[in-house]
Amino acid sequence: MILTEQEIEGRVSQISGTWVKRRNARKRLAAESNKIVYEKISECKGKIRDLRAMGAREDTLRHWYAEVTKYELMIIW
């Protein structure tokens, strides 16, 4: 599941324990979310490659470029 920073903070705030435990949970949740986002980006880029190989024009690929940008903005740093 792709999580936003606010959703991660909400889940982390419910964890009792030390700040180290919360920091590790935050890093783990962000890494899992980013993994899914990178997979989605790879799927979109693969679709772009396939469409280009079939001779699609750039204006038909615009939707897929927008999808890649949308997913890139979901990456948590």
The model's pLDDT over 2-59, given as tens digits with 9 standing for 90+, comes to 999 999 999 999 999 999 999 999 999 999 999 999 999 999 999 999 999 999 999 9
Smallest Cα–Cα separation from 36: which of 68, 75, 77? 75
Residue-range definition of the domain harbouring residue 17: 5-72
What is the C-alpha end-to-end distance of the chain, expressed in Å?
A: 17
DSSP state of 54: T
> How many structural domains is the chain composed of?
1
Question: What average pLDDT does the structure give for the chain?
Answer: 96
Average pLDDT over residues 55-69: 94
pLDDT of residue 63: 95
How far apart (Å, rounded) are the C-alpha atoms in residues 65 and 48? 8
What values do phi and psi take at 16, rounded to 5? -90, 150
Which residue did the predictor score with more confidence, 77 or 69? 69
| 77 found inside a domain | no
pLDDT of residue 28: 97
